[in-house]
């Protein structure tokens, strides 16, 4: 997400500073000044914000497994540090990348908009800590720091380091859960990045948007298992085989969670109850607010995005040969 925003921002003629734990040679090639550091280091975050007009805060610890502190540190403490640095260094606008999972309660969510309340119970540490962080940004935006929160859902595309790799790693043993009718929203990476740039521009024009939250997506809900198979196909992999009922998948997830906890295994189990609920329910959104207030429209269709993803997978395979 951060890399795609940087590319589009550079293309518009802006000067960009990036802050991340690792050095990325391709960023230097396109003229980005890089600063290495950790979000949990307040001084490092403040240094990165010096002389900066706008901050896009996209970094987070994502996932469905691991100790609470592994998520709370980057997602909550890190966001506190970003807010504090923005205020101290006089940053004029903050665009924060959140997640629709902050409102996901384990049930179908079809055509919901931003009026839906936060979930009261979370089944993984990632959405729980993202909800805390999002609230911090919104609270600050009301009085001190102009900020907008975006909730992109299931970001995918070239250079994906999260969704596609998880699907490819599990594709050979993954089975469809439920009847396959549940639909989800996704968003192609370039569309998501463009939404962030639009949010920044609109906030600069109208500070009354500060504190607002927007769902952003392809505006094209698709069956979740169709999308998973489409990503597998883009990578040259065969489609999934077999199906399992939701109750049976839930029992398997609970078994793995208990076993991994008991044995102290740090790596993510093959299946968890949170993943089962994500894969077996519908979650798609009414993005009218983003359309009307930010001027957002997905410029790259799902079909076009899948073609681009397939081409990228092909180029990666060529490099390995």
CB-based burial of residue 152 (10 Å sphere; 0-12 exposed, 13-18 middle, 19+ buried)? buried
Catalytic residues: 126
User: How far, in Å, are 99, 102, 118, 259 from residue 114 at the CA level?
Assistant: 12, 11, 10, 38
User: How far, in Å, are 226, 270, 283 from residue 274 at the CA level?
Assistant: 20, 12, 14
Which residues are CB-neighbours of 81 under 8 A, at least 6 positions away?
39, 40, 41, 42, 45, 46
Q: What 3-state DSSP class applies to 313?
A: helix
Q: What is the C-alpha end-to-end distance of the chain, expressed in Å? A: 28
User: How far, in Å, are 38, 126, 162, 185, 302 from residue 131 at the CA level?
Assistant: 21, 9, 20, 19, 28
Cα–Cα dist 79/45, whole Å: 10
Only one residue has tokens 């997978």, namely 313
Q: What 3-state DSSP class applies to 115?
A: coil
Q: What 3-state DSSP class applies to 242?
A: coil
Torsion-angle region of 7 (φ positive above 0: left; ψ -120 to 50: alpha; else: beta): alpha
Sheet of 109-112, strand order = 109-112, 283-285, 183-184, 222-223
Cα–Cα dist 137/1, whole Å: 19
Distance of CA 238 to the CA centre of its chain: 26
Q: What are phi and psi of 301, to 5 degrees?
A: -70, 165
């Amino acid at each position: 997400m951060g890399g795609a925003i940087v590319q589009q921002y550079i293309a518009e003629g802006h000067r960009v500073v990036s802050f991340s734990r690792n050095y990325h040679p391709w960023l230097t090639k396109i003229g980005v000044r890089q600063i290495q550091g950790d979000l949990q280091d307040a001084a490092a975050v403040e240094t990165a914000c010096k002389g900066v007009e706008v901050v896009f805060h996209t970094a987070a610890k994502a996932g469905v497994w691991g100790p609470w502190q592994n998520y709370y540190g980057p997602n909550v403490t890190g966001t506190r540090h970003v807010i504090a640095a923005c205020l101290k260094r006089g940053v004029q606008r903050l665009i924060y990348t959140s997640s629709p999972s902050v409102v996901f309660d384990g049930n179908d969510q079809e055509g919901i908009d931003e009026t839906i309340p936060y979930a009261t119970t979370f089944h993984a540490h990632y959405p729980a800590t993202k909800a805390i962080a999002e609230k911090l940004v919104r609270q600050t935006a009301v009085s001190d720091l102009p900020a907008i929160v975006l909730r992109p859902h299931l970001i995918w595309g070239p250079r994906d380091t999260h969704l596609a790799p998880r699907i490819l790693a599990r594709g050979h043993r993954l089975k469809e859960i439920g009847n396959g009718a549940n639909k989800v929203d996704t968003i192609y990476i370039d569309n998501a990045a463009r939404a962030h740039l639009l949010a920044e521009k609109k906030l600069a024009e109208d500070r009354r948007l500060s504190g607002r939250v927007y769902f952003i997506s392809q505006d094209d809900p698709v069956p979740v298992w169709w999308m998973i198979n489409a990503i597998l196909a883009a990578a040259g992999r065969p489609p999934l085989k077999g199906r399992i009922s939701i109750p049976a998948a839930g029992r398997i997830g609970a078994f793995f969670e208990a076993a991994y906890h008991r044995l102290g295994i740090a790596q993510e189990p093959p299946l968890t109850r949170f993943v089962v609920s994500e894969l077996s329910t519908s979650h798609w959104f009414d993005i009218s607010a983003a359309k009307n207030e930010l001027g957002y429209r997905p410029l790259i269709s799902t079909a076009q995005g899948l073609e681009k993803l397939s081409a990228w997978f092909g180029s990666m395979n060529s490099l390995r040969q």
